Amino acid sequence: MLKEAVFHRAMSPFVYKYDDKTIHVRLQTKKNDVDHVDLIWGDPYDWHTENPDDADWNFDPSKSNYWNTFETPMKRSGSDELFDYWFIDVVPPFRRLRYGFRLHDGHSSQVFTERGWFDEKPLDDTGYYFCVPFLNKVDVFHAPDWVKDTVWYQIFPDRFANGDSTNDPAGTLPWNSTAPTTTNLFGGDFQGVIDKIDYLVDLGITGIYFCPIFEAKSNHKYDTIDYLEIDPQFGTKEKFKEMVDLLHANGIRIMLDAVFNHAGFHHKAFADIREHGSNSSYRDWFHLRNFPLVTEPMPNYDTFAFVPEMPKFNTENPEVKEYLLHVARYWVEEFGIDGWRLDVANEVDHAFWRDFRSVVKEADPETYILGEIWHDSQEWLLGDQFDAVMNYPFTNAALNFFALDKTSASTYANDMSHVLFSNTVNVNEVSFNLIGSHDTPRALTRAGNDKNKMRLLLLSMLTFSGSPVIYYGDEIGLDGDQDPGCRKCMPWNPEEQDLNLLMYTKHLLQLRKQHRTLANHGQISFVHADDETNTIVMRRMSQDGTYYVYFNNSNHQATIPAPQSGQGMDLFSNTPLPSLEVTLAPYTGTIIQVI
């Protein structure tokens, strides 16, 4: 047993409060090094004695008492390239927990505690053991339950549909008349979304994430001028409210993009600084190094990514904080939006986000708070800041295997397992899973315009734990390179749409809704990963049943052995199967329900 590889610390994601009764515990060991693990656990005040006079929860060598413990087997819940991960959920009867681990390697067993290793479990003092002092309900990570059953649809507002030409800005081009650039406009607006409500409902999505809609100079609107005003090219506040109400009436939530890391060059505060210099009353709203302000060759003030048009807010300034928190509350209270997506969230201070969460959840406790973070996000996901982040580790693993052929089947399984074990189950259930966005090349383009690979990408995302998002047009085969190529107009002529891909996407969404185990109501594990055939089998299992998702990511037909005995139902063809052995054509997949 390689003790150096064994890891646990009494903090998330290795131990955490899942709900007001349940604690989840995880342990990491070297891959294939440990046969089984038992959790040693008990209440720190529950001590055994034969003599009632010795009853005491403090160890006294003169008394015949010792700590009462249980030993419960843990489950090997998955593996990545280097480690196995063990899991158990515990319901401590009095909400207090002390715990350790007994590890077996086939030859011997060792006890692992917070104070190190022992041949046998020490029972003279609970201080040896890891501790969850008390399960306080207020400390449980809570994200809105509705997110677990939501499939999002991301809309870049200028490019989805032009429903009202009267609000088109000067220079607006005919719809889809040319390739997108960083400056051209096509007139997409709220009326366009209203006009396409039947399409959205028929597709089966239940949430829309809008890129910025507030007044700004650019076509992407990430350079905000006024956070309290709608950009007139999209419509009025009245039209926005009409759209929100219509979406809600059709069971569709709405999430807006909040750019609180930086303002636009023409925001009133920064404009005042440009005019009055060091005498401006807004000089402390931004991170300015000296005066006068210069933009070349590099700004002498902090910005997003050295972009002069995007000066970075000083969110530690009380006036800035008050201003932005008012914005956060305003759109929730006045228009009933259901979520905020937070742009460049990792560059804003944690204290601001804690206050942001308090304000937003006070306005509506069921508001979804999503951070844009591309790396390990654990410090934002402890329950005091965000509900979730954009799950780019998922994105990279899916694209590298299915689209780019950069990784093997076993690496894909390891990568996805690592994604799951990097966060708590509560977080995984609401993670914003994506295969492309306005910031990346289109998924179809990454897949070399191979529609079969695109189907595999959609299958992987829409059967995985989390809250998945479809970037507008992916469902009908829209392609495009890195920004601005990934921001094409949505083609509404059916002859320009891949209707077979559209039907496939709709079917997946229907299956995810009908079989909730495929979403967030079932455990997830990889039970088959064959590098020779480049095939994968993912198991989704709950009290409602067991499902297997099969992938053949190769250019040849593959027969995948049955992961268990029994019969199945192919949910794509609605065909009963005598066994769970499946033969798949090249670059195809399916979902089998065990019957």
Phi, psi of 495 (to 5 degrees): -70, -15
Q: Would you say 367 and 360 are in contact if contact means Cβ atoms under 8 Å apart?
A: yes
Strand partners, 38: 73, 102
User: Which is it for strands 152-155 and 130-132: parallel, antiparallel or unpaired?
Assistant: unpaired
At residue 18, what is the residue type? Y
Strand partners, 303: 311
Q: Please state, in angstroms and rounded to a whole number, the distance separating the CA atoms of residues 23 and 512.
A: 28
- The Cα-based distances of 481 to 179, 440, 492, 503, 566 in angstroms read 11, 8, 20, 24, 45
Tokens standing for residue 163:
């429903």
- Tell me which residues of the chain have a pLDDT lower than 70: 50, 53-64
Residues acting as catalytic residues: 343, 372
- Expressed in percent and rounded to 5, the helix, strand and coil fractions of the chain are 30, 25, 45
Domains and CATH numbers, the chain: 3-139 (2.60.40.10), 265-314 (3.90.400.10), 523-594 (2.60.40.1180)
User: Which is it for strands 388-389 and 368-371: parallel, antiparallel or unpaired?
Assistant: parallel
DSSP state of 177: -
Predicted pLDDT at 235: 98
**DSSP string for residues in 201-239:** HHHT--EEEEPP-EEESSSS--SEEEEEEE-TTT--HHH
Of 323, 388, 316, residue with least CA distance to 359? 323
Q: Please state, in angstroms and rounded to a whole number, the distance separating the CA atoms of residues 575 and 568.
A: 9
Q: Would you say 201 and 250 are in contact if contact means Cβ atoms under 8 Å apart?
A: yes
Predicted pLDDT at 49: 79
Of 65, 137, 69, residue with least CA distance to 99? 69
Total residue length of the chain: 595
pLDDT in tens, 156-211: 999 999 999 999 999 999 999 999 999 999 999 999 999 999 999 999 999 999 99
Q: Please state, in angstroms and rounded to a whole number, the distance separating the CA atoms of residues 262 and 298.
A: 17
Of 345, 332, 364, 257, residue with least CA distance to 304? 345
Strand partners, 27: 86
- Count CB-CB contacts under 10 A for residue 362: 12
Of 491, 542, 553, residue with least CA distance to 519? 542
What 3-state DSSP class applies to 424? coil
pTM: 0.94
Predicted pLDDT at 260: 98
Q: Would you say 65 and 49 are in contact if contact means Cβ atoms under 8 Å apart?
A: yes
Q: Please state, in angstroms and rounded to a whole number, the distance separating the CA atoms of residues 388 and 368.
A: 8
Q: Please state, in angstroms and rounded to a whole number, the distance separating the CA atoms of residues 157 and 183.
A: 14
User: Which is it for strands 253-258 and 523-530: parallel, antiparallel or unpaired?
Assistant: unpaired
Predicted pLDDT at 70: 97
Residue 318, C-beta contacts closer than 8 angstroms, at least 6 positions apart: none
Tokens standing for residue 108:
């011997």
Q: Please state, in angstroms and rounded to a whole number, the distance separating the CA atoms of residues 535 and 340.
A: 38
Residue 45, C-beta contacts closer than 8 angstroms, at least 6 positions apart: 57, 94, 96
Phi, psi of 99 (to 5 degrees): -155, 155
